Amino acid sequence: MTTLKPGGSLTTPADESVHHPADFPVFLRLAGHRALVVGGGAVALRKVRRLLRSDARVAVIAPSLIGELRELALAGAITHVSADFTPARLDGCRYAVAATDDRALNAAVADAATRRGIFVNVVDDAELSSAISPAIVDRAPVTVSISTSGLAPVLARRLRERIEQALPARLGALARFMGAARPRLNPQLPPHSRRMLWERFLDGAGRDAALRGDGARASAALALAAAGVSLRGEVYLIGAGPGDPDLLTLRALRLMQQADAILYDRLLDPAILTLARGDAEQICVGKRCGQKGMPQAAINAELVRRARAGQRVARLKAGDPFIFGRGGEEAEELAAHGIPFQVVPGITAANGCAAYANIPLTHRDHASSCVFITGHTSATGELDLPWPSLARRDQTIVIYMALRSLPHLCQRLIDAGLPTQCPAAVIENGTRSDQRVLEGTLATLPRQAALADIDGPSLVIIGEVVSLRRRLSEATPPQSAAQAPAADRMAVSVA
């Protein structure tokens, strides 16, 4: 049932957390095996074409066939059985398709196939199907299939259109070139260097030569790539952004998918880790406030050890590695041991959280400067900060790791000259779907934070720019779940 919510928006059962299991993706090798198609019309023809491309031995059961199917039968490409379907027709089959406009007949085919343990696709009937026919992007031998588990076939076709536009028409030529070269080159290299070789080839001129069909130039580029493959690994110090996976940079994504191992912060959104290479080892090395984690010296040593063993290691950090991320310390250690590394900047927690909370960090009328500081206290419990230079009314203060010291921090800023009514905010889980924003003042914010029982990673912003948030939020449509209206994302404001 589809109903209308108050305010005019539609709601369907999908809005009510109905569980739809995802299909298990797999490609069937049908070359030389028998496949049965029940139906002789246009839909059956589409299925037959695809099966023939897989070199299956196709039999079609139908009283009559449309023109192209009839021609295929006359040419011997398919076997035509002009008879009614019986379960015995499935004997010896590896795959079956029911493509008639008779649901009862389709159901009979599906039941008979299921009883024999044969996967069956019933066209436009996911309920009867044990195999869903995906939307296909064909660049043989490269095949991309898209499935929505039968829920939204039009969406699958739209995604196929996008992918069709993105993939080169001669992608198959590239795959064939690489497939011919692998048996010769791979045995000469250890496993971790093989992947490095092929990624270097795909990132260089050899890929374009293979796509053009220029085998000589492609082979020359591949030889150069093979000569340059080093047995020594490298490290990628990657800023993963403040939380929302959509804020990951393209370079970060590419290097994550190359890495053999990933050392990540505990604060990282788990969705980001799903974008890494599927077989990469994942090691959590971070810690949350007040909890023990791997010491920094041990993290440094682990990066060096793995790189020396030939691994490409991605060190994933929330935000940016060089802004309160200790990336500088890791870079120093790697440089001292001669380990090559790359630094991949990320969207900082300050930039990302402020943007998703609709708080500009600078503004011509409110803040001409912005300063980032840490709320971490020293061993004596003190905050050693330049309080007089911080307490400026035309400045925005962004404080990382400030929750534990928030009462002391706010009081010191008041003592240094900022008014008690200076706007201030805490952003918890910034940029994520469960983002919370607490608005208050220097005088009220510590108590608000204590009452809100904040447990997630948080950022504090202090300055007149915070007062712009409500006006900007009302005027700007949300770009993500984290920017939804205040009532929908549990925004908290206490006077």
Instruction: Dump pLDDT digits (tens) for 314-358.
Output: 999 999 999 998 999 999 999 999 999 999 999 999 999 999 999
CB 314 within 8 A of CB 259: yes
Confidence of residue 287 (pLDDT cuts 50, 70, 90): low
Which residues make Cβ contacts (< 8 Å) with residue 253, sequence separation at least 6? 275
Helices 205-212 and 191-202 sit at what angle, rounded to 10 degrees? 70
Half-sphere exposure (Cβ direction) of 223: Cα atoms closer than 13 Å: 6
Report in angstroms the alpha-carbon separations of 262 from 272, 327, 443.
11, 15, 42
CB 20 within 8 A of CB 149: yes
**What is the reported pLDDT for 251?**
92
Confidence of residue 44 (pLDDT cuts 50, 70, 90): very high
Per-residue pLDDT of 93-147, as tens digits, reads 999 999 999 999 999 999 999 999 999 999 988 889 999 888 889 998 999 999 8
Q: Where do you find CATH 3.30.950.10 in the chain?
A: 350-493
Segment 10-26 shows an average pLDDT of 63
Which residues make Cβ contacts (< 8 Å) with residue 237, sequence separation at least 6? 315, 317, 321, 327, 330, 331, 341, 342, 343, 344
Helices 296-308 and 327-336 sit at what angle, rounded to 10 degrees? 40
Calculate what percentage of the chain has a pLDDT beyond 70.
89
**Average pLDDT value over all residues in the chain:** 87
Confidence of residue 486 (pLDDT cuts 50, 70, 90): very low
If DSSP codes are grouped into helix, strand and coil, which group holds residue 254? helix
For the cut 90, the answer to whether the pLDDT of residue 189 exceeds it is no
Q: Which residues pair with 364 in a beta bridge?
A: none
Per-residue pLDDT of 190-219, as tens digits, reads 777 788 888 889 888 899 999 999 999 999
Q: Give me the phi and psi of 385, to 5 degrees please.
A: -130, 155
Distance of alpha carbon 358 from alpha carbon 368, whole angstroms: 18
Q: Compute the CA torsion angle 109, 113, 114, 115 (nearest 10 deg).
A: 110
Which residues make Cβ contacts (< 8 Å) with residue 285, sequence separation at least 6? 263, 264, 265, 293, 294, 298, 299, 302
For the cut 70, the answer to whether the pLDDT of residue 297 exceeds it is yes
Lookup: tokens for 108? 């009979």
Which residues form the catalytic set?
Answer: 265, 287
Distance of alpha carbon 7 from alpha carbon 488, whole angstroms: 14
**What is the reported pLDDT for 17?**
52
Per-residue pLDDT of 218-241, as tens digits, reads 999 998 888 776 666 899 999 999
Q: Which of 263, 220, 265 is nearest to 242 (CA)?
A: 265
CATH no. for 34-133: 3.40.50.720
CATH no. for 350-493: 3.30.950.10
Exposed/middle/buried for 475, CB within 10 Å: 0-12, 13-18, 19+?
Answer: exposed
Examine residue 141 and say whether the peptide bond preceding it is cis (omega within 30 degrees of 0).
yes
Confidence of residue 30 (pLDDT cuts 50, 70, 90): very high
Q: Where do you find CATH 3.40.50.720 in the chain?
A: 34-133
Q: Which residues pair with 120 in a beta bridge?
A: 96
The reply to whether CATH 3.40.1010.10 applies to domain 234-347 is yes
Distance of alpha carbon 374 from alpha carbon 385, whole angstroms: 9
Q: Which of 454, 457, 459, 390 is nearest to 424 (CA)?
A: 459
